[in-house]
């Protein structure tokens, strides 16, 4: 029987001018699997995730969603597959309110779809923020006046609103305090139980060992290491990120 | 996994009354309104005729086309764009209407052709800006030139009379329940504009694009289409304004609407729409149009030299831009 992947990327290639950012990367994710994606700066992690979220169109490569070949050629296509992303730069519109940012592009409407249903918009936003334990005094506030942590929380909440099947978190904890980091890790463990596949990019290596099932290491646009978390130690992971993976501990 | 309730239940947020909040959130709109009242009062005292019924009526009829275009321009500027071609589109609309009617074209066809011309030029503007990443200042500057040229070509530089009594003339000269039709139309468009900018997806995307276009694109919104639509709005609005002016004057001319774009842009900026994009206010734009109209009208009544009026207008625009940049660059 063929193994069932939630999402699979095959031979993803992307160049910018004479720089080959991604040189044929494969990535598979099972339902409910948490994959840590690491690598030095410029390794291609963010680009790979932008490809998966339809923001960057690869020069070459194929996508398979639940075993079926699909094309992810726009952000909309990724959303339609329930692939949601927290981008490294958060991708928020400063002058829009918390609620408008959370539902941007998918606002609840009324009056034959002409008007945004403000009541539902704010009620739903509040509900989701509460569910995630995010403390923001009003969903009507523009995000420009908020702290880095609150903005990051809004970006995370946005990715959770439409029940993702694949959740991409690109440095989701960069601006967060200790408490909020724990909240995010807890969130990852919670969605994992529901069968959501997660890709986590982070520089906080200790976090990877708390939530990941597997770690994939990118180096100069190629995957140079891909092992289950048990087969890594912090030391071997660092070696791998530096570009020289050892053969791992306990590899069978 | 709820966090403790009291993590940062914001002791930092200063409690304020509803009134104070309203004042703070609408500061720029309220201050322009204040200036408008003060200037009007000044002219009321300085000239005997400024506040007379006939002058006020005359004034609001004159600013109605500016309101129509300023509403549309607010959308363009809120996306971070600008449309310099509206004055030329206005002239083209006026020339085209008169020429078509003079050649015996039916009213409805002439009307639709004029509006379609405005929309089409707007589409070209928007397409060049959205799909070819040409700065809107440059692409609409090009339109400013070729559209004016088209208008001149059509009329040969002469004005063309619109003869007879019909509903198109009525759009410029008619009244409904005593209220001039251009004013009713401008009011209607203003209301639609307020609703569209604040309460629709389109308005949300317009504001979002001005704040961070890539973020809006990443949520799956067709941002290029939204941008094109804003330029079509300003093109269409300018055509409608040109039609109203031609109907009011009873003639079409390729020479009207010189510097009209500057009046409109100045009004929008005065009103508090951010030149950087991301924050727009229709009500503010209307106050801005009114302020510029009042200054022009008042100074004329005071028999000030038209050259001085132009200098004053330029200085008002400069001041408005300075304040605008100061307010909105602080927020960023």
**A36, A53, A157, A181 from A164: Cα distances, Å:** 18, 12, 11, 20
Task: Confirm or reject contact between B77 and chain A (CB < 8 A).
Answer: no
What is the tens place of the pLDDT at every residue in A122-142?
999 999 998 888 888 888 889
- What is the residue-averaged pLDDT of chain B? 90
Share of chain B above pLDDT 90, in %: 71
CB B270 within 8 A of CB B314: no
Q: Which letter does DSSP use for residue B3 in this model?
A: P
Tell whether the model's pLDDT for residue B52 goes beyond 50. yes
E strand segments, chain A = 7-16, 19-29, 34-39, 60-65, 68-70, 83-86, 109-110, 115-116, 166-170, 197-201, 214-219, 222-228
Is there a contact between B3 and A55 if contact means CB atoms under 8 Å apart? no
B3 confidence band (pLDDT: 50, 70, 90): very low
Is there a contact between A93 and B201 if contact means CB atoms under 8 Å apart? no
3-state secondary structure of B90: helix
User: To 10 degrees, what angle do helices B201-218 and B181-199 make?
Assistant: 40
Is there a contact between A94 and B212 if contact means CB atoms under 8 Å apart? yes
* Predicted local confidence at residue B14, as pLDDT: 60
Closest A-chain CA to B201:
A116
CB B97 within 8 A of CB B161: no
What is the tens place of the pLDDT at every residue in B116-128?
999 999 999 999 9
A55 neighbourhood in chain B, CB within 8 Å: 217-218
B13 neighbourhood in chain A, CB within 8 Å: 137
Cα–Cα distance for residue pair B64/B184, rounded to 1 Å: 9
Output the CA torsion A87→A88→A89→A93 (10° steps).
30
Angstroms from A92 CA to nearest CA on chain B: 6
Residues β-bridged to residue A216: A37, A226
Cα–Cα distance for residue pair A24/B201, rounded to 1 Å: 39
Cα–Cα distance for residue pair B128/B141, rounded to 1 Å: 12
Q: Which letter does DSSP use for residue A126 in this model?
A: H
Task: Map out the domains of chain A as residue ranges.
Answer: 7-241
Task: Confirm or reject contact between A120 and chain B (CB < 8 A).
Answer: no
Give the CA count within 13 Å in the CB-facing half-sphere of B57.
Answer: 9
Angstroms from A55 CA to nearest CA on chain B: 6
A252 confidence band (pLDDT: 50, 70, 90): very low
B331 neighbourhood in chain A, CB within 8 Å: 144
Tell whether the model's pLDDT for residue B9 goes beyond 60. no
**Distance linking the first and last C-alpha atoms of chain B:** 34
Judged by average pLDDT, the poorest of B100-114, B216-230, B317-331 is B317-331
Is there a contact between A92 and B215 if contact means CB atoms under 8 Å apart? yes
Task: Confirm or reject contact between B216 and chain A (CB < 8 A).
Answer: yes
Is there a contact between A105 and B221 if contact means CB atoms under 8 Å apart? yes
Task: Confirm or reject contact between B218 and chain A (CB < 8 A).
Answer: yes
Counted across chains A and B, CB pairs separated by less than 8 A come out at 93
Give me the architecture of the A7-241 domain, per CATH.
Answer: 3-Layer(aba) Sandwich (3.40)
What is the tens place of the pLDDT at every residue in B137-165?
999 999 999 999 999 999 998 899 888 88
CB atoms within 10 A of CB B103: 9
* Predicted local confidence at residue A169, as pLDDT: 93
Closest B-chain CA to A119:
B199
Is there a contact between A94 and B332 if contact means CB atoms under 8 Å apart? yes
Task: Confirm or reject contact between B22 and chain A (CB < 8 A).
Answer: no
Mean pLDDT over B214-226 rounds to 94
* Predicted local confidence at residue A147, as pLDDT: 84
* Predicted local confidence at residue A1, as pLDDT: 41
Interface mutation vs chain B, best among A74, A78, A93, A190, most B CBs within 10 Å = A93
Tell whether the model's pLDDT for residue B22 goes beyond 90. no
A133 neighbourhood in chain B, CB within 8 Å: 1-3
What is the tens place of the pLDDT at every residue in A54-107?
999 999 999 999 989 999 999 999 999 999 999 998 999 999 999 999 999 898
Closest Cβ opposite residue A116 in set B204, B214, B219: B204
Task: Confirm or reject contact between B15 and chain A (CB < 8 A).
Answer: no
Is there a contact between A85 and B3 if contact means CB atoms under 8 Å apart? no
Mean pLDDT over A147-171 rounds to 90
Is there a contact between A95 and B211 if contact means CB atoms under 8 Å apart? yes
ipTM over 0.85: yes
A162 neighbourhood in chain B, CB within 8 Å: none
What is the tens place of the pLDDT at every residue in A187-246?
899 899 989 999 999 988 989 998 999 999 999 899 999 999 989 888 888 888 888 887
Closest A-chain CA to B280:
A95
CB atoms within 10 A of CB B231: 31
Task: Confirm or reject contact between B278 and chain A (CB < 8 A).
Answer: yes
Closest A-chain CA to B279:
A95
**Distance linking the first and last C-alpha atoms of chain A:** 23
Mean pLDDT over B260-270 rounds to 93
3-state secondary structure of A56: coil
Closest B-chain CA to A54:
B218
Task: Confirm or reject contact between A132 and chain B (CB < 8 A).
Answer: yes
E strand segments, A121-230 = 166-170, 197-201, 214-219, 222-228
What is the tens place of the pLDDT at every residue in B178-205?
899 999 999 999 999 999 999 999 999 9
Closest Cβ opposite residue B10 in set A74, A76, A137: A137
Is there a contact between B219 and A87 if contact means CB atoms under 8 Å apart? no
Is there a contact between A132 and B279 if contact means CB atoms under 8 Å apart? no
Closest Cβ opposite residue A79 in set B220, B278, B332: B220
Is there a contact between A106 and B219 if contact means CB atoms under 8 Å apart? yes
B212 neighbourhood in chain A, CB within 8 Å: 91-94
CB A166 within 8 A of CB A11: no
What tokens does A3 get?
């193994």
Is there a contact between A95 and B195 if contact means CB atoms under 8 Å apart? no
Nearest to B81 by CA among B214, B215, B327, B276: B276
Is there a contact between A135 and B201 if contact means CB atoms under 8 Å apart? no
* Predicted local confidence at residue A78, as pLDDT: 94
Q: Which letter does DSSP use for residue A230 in this model?
A: G
Angstroms from A95 CA to nearest CA on chain B: 6
Angstroms from B214 CA to nearest CA on chain A: 7
Is there a contact between B201 and A186 if contact means CB atoms under 8 Å apart? no
Cα–Cα distance for residue pair A195/A31, rounded to 1 Å: 5
A250 confidence band (pLDDT: 50, 70, 90): very low
Mean pLDDT over B127-137 rounds to 95
What tokens does A247 get?
């053969």
Tell whether the model's pLDDT for residue B274 goes beyond 70. yes
């Amino acid at each position: 029987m063929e193994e069932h992947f939630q999402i699979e990327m095959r031979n993803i290639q992307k160049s910018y001018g004479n720089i080959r950012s991604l040189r044929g990367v494969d990535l598979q994710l099972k339902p409910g699997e948490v994959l840590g994606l690491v690598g030095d700066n410029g390794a291609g992690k963010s680009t790979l995730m932008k490809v998966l979220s339809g923001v960057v169109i690869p020069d070459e490569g194929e996508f398979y969603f639940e075993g079926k070949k699909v094309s992810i050629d726009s952000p909309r296509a990724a959303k339609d597959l329930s692939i949601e992303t927290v981008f490294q730069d958060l991708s928020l519109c400063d002058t829009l309110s918390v609620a408008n940012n959370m539902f941007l592009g998918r606002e609840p409407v009324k009056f034959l779809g002409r008007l945004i249903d403000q009541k539902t918009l704010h009620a739903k936003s509040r509900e989701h923020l509460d569910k995630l334990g995010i403390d923001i005094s009003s969903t009507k506030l523009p995000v420009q006046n908020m702290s880095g942590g609150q903005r990051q929380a809004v970006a995370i909440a946005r990715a959770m609103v439409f029940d993702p099947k694949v959740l991409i978190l690109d440095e989701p904890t960069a601006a967060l305090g200790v408490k909020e980091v724990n909240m995010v890790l807890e969130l990852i463990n919670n969605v994992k139980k529901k069968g959501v596949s997660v890709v986590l990019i982070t520089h906080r290596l200790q976090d990877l060992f708390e939530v990941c099932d597997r770690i994939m290491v990118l180096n100069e646009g190629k995957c140079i290491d891909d092992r289950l978390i048990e087969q890594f130690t912090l030391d071997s992971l660092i070696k791998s990120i530096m570009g020289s993976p050892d053969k791992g501990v306990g590899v069978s | 996994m709820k966090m403790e309730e009291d993590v940062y239940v914001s002791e930092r947020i200063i409690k304020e009354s509803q009134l104070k909040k309203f004042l703070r959130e609408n500061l720029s709109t309220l201050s322009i309104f204040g200036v408008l009242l003060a200037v009007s009062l000044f002219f009321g005292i300085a000239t005997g005729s400024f506040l007379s019924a006939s002058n006020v009526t005359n004034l609001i009829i004159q600013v109605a086309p500016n309101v129509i275009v300023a509403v549309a321009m607010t959308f363009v500027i809120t996306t971070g764009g600008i449309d310099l071609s509206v004055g030329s589109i206005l002239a083209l609309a006026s020339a085209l209407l008169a020429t078509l009617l003079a050649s015996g074209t039916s009213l409805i066809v002439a009307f639709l052709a004029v509006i379609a011309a405005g929309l089409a030029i707007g589409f070209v503007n928007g397409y060049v800006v959205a799909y070819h990443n040409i700065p809107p200042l440059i692409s609409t500057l090009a339109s400013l030139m070729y559209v004016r040229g088209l208008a001149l070509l059509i009329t040969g530089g002469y004005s063309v009379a619109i003869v007879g009594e019909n509903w198109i003339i009525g759009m410029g000269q008619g009244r409904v329940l005593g209220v001039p039709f251009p004013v009713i139309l401008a009011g209607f468009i203003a209301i639609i504009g307020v609703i569209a900018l604040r309460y629709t997806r389109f308005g949300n995307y317009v504001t979002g694009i001005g704040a961070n276009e890539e973020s809006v694109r990443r949520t799956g919104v067709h941002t290029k289409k939204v941008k094109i639509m804003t330029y079509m709005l300003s093109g269409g609005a300018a055509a409608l304004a040109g039609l109203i002016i031609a109907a009011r004057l009873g003639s079409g001319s390729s020479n009207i609407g010189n510097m009209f774009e500057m009046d409109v842009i100045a009004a929008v900026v005065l009103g508090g729409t951010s030149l950087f994009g991301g924050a727009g206010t229709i009500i503010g734009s209307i106050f801005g149009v009114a302020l510029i109209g009042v200054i022009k009208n008042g100074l004329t009544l005071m028999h000030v030299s038209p050259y001085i009026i132009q200098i004053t207008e330029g200085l008002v625009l400069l001041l408005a831009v300075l304040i605008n940049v100061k307010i909105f660059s602080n927020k960023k």
